[in-house]
Amino acid sequence: MNKVKEIRKERGLSQDRLAQLTGISRKYLSMIECQRATPSVSIAMKIASELDVSTDKIFLDLSTENPTSFPKVIRYIDLFCGIGGFRYASQYAFDKLELNGKCVFSCDIDKYAQESYTAKFGEKPAGDIMKIKASDIPDFDVLFAGFPCQAFSICGLQKGFSDDTKGTLFFDIARIIKEKQPQAFVLENVKNLASHDHGKTLKTILDVLRDELGYHVDFKLLNALDFGLPQKRERIIIIGSKKPFLMDWVFTVDYMKTLDVILEKKVDKKHFASPEIIEKRKSMHSASVYPSIWHENKSGNISSYPYSCALRAGASYNYLLVNGERRLTPREMLRLQGFPDTFKIVVSDTQTRKQAGNAIPVDMVAKVIEKFLPLAF
């Protein structure tokens, strides 16, 4: 039960205006007012704040004290799995929570990523998700996916997500969620998702997850630097559950890895830049810290830090240089993303650099999963 409609009218606000103030769609607000949807605690708090009332005065049955009830085994799927970042992260979280997790399905279209994933986990991911029927995927409890940022055709949600997102990989996430009805999901995307297509892309994603699929959803921009990894890598994390929840996005980090533990002691000569490039870099810049990773931006300006700027799959080989002299090795790039040295490198250096650049920051996502799962079940 809630009094949103009653109090909104008392305040003289239209549905359109309250939806705009709270950052949700008018359709979702209408569903809340008609008792056909229960908002997440964070959305409820936004609505209550805009209506200038306490949350418990407007949402009479919203509770954050519902007991957690985990299944004996949490079954999950790993979409756009790459080299298994989500699988590593989820296993770390399961171990912390003393839970049993089992991956029942994975997919990635890249044959080299499939090769690396198979070498580690002994399972070859399925291929193109666009060609896989949701009915062919085993039942699961949690969906993990790091998906590409693609523009949508924005024409309102009256026609449903199939019209607004068709032809994008998010559509495949949405159709799988719709048919399989998992308890929860964790999605990862690039920082620019928030501003992509003037914010319309992220809005469409959130509207589909909330309005069309009926999930309680929250999201946050996080930085791997804040999770013990010496890499400035900002990513948007979207979480959703069938159960209302209030996510605390403040995390405690056990320790901060430094470049000293990331960088290899013996490095093959092939990773060093040419004498000309080294001389040019050092004539333009002098580092104040050691060791450091030098970053050259598109304008040719050089800066150095005791951490790495974001790894990029398609970046120039000379984009980042250790102490201005050499490129990061494939193993170092994997370490910067939180992959352990037990990860087997079975493809070329070029492919490994691409895979590391496309991967998720394992330590960061593990912390999110660890904190979110008890709220989602």
Q: How far is 340 from 344, CA to CA, in rounded Å?
A: 9
149 is a catalytic site residue = yes
Single-letter code of the amino acid located at 85: G
Q: How far is 241 from 314, CA to CA, in rounded Å?
A: 34
Evaluate whether 31 touches 37 at the Cβ level (below 8 Å).
yes
Taken in order 32, 33, 34, 35, is the CA torsion positive or negative? Answer: positive
- 370 is written with which tokens? 């660890």
- 177 is written with which tokens? 């969620």
* Per annotation, catalytic residue among 34, 149, 155, 309: 149
3-state secondary structure the chain: CECHHHHHHHCCCCHHHHHHHHCCCHHHHHHHHCCCCCCCHHHHHHHHHHCCCCHHHHECCCCCCCCCCCCCCEEEEEECCCCCHHHHHHHHHHHHHCCCEEEEEEECCCHHHHHHHHHHHCCCCECCHHHCCHHHCCCCCEEEEECCCCCCCCCCCCCCHHHHCCCCHHHHHHHHHHHHCCCEEEEEEEHHHHCHHHHHHHHHHHHHHHHHCCCEEEEEEEEHHHHCCCEECEEEEEEEECCCCCCCCCCCCCCCCCHHHHCCCCCCHHHECCHHHHHHHHHHCCCCCCCCEEEECCCCCEEEECCEECCCCCCCCCCEEECCCEECCHHHHHHHCCCCCCCCCCCCHHHHHHHHHHCCCHHHHHHHHHHHHHHHC
Give the C-alpha distances (Å, rounded to integers) separating 311 from 37, 57, 145, 231, 271. Answer: 40, 47, 19, 8, 16
Name the β-bridge partners of 217: 240
Q: Which residues are catalytic?
A: 149
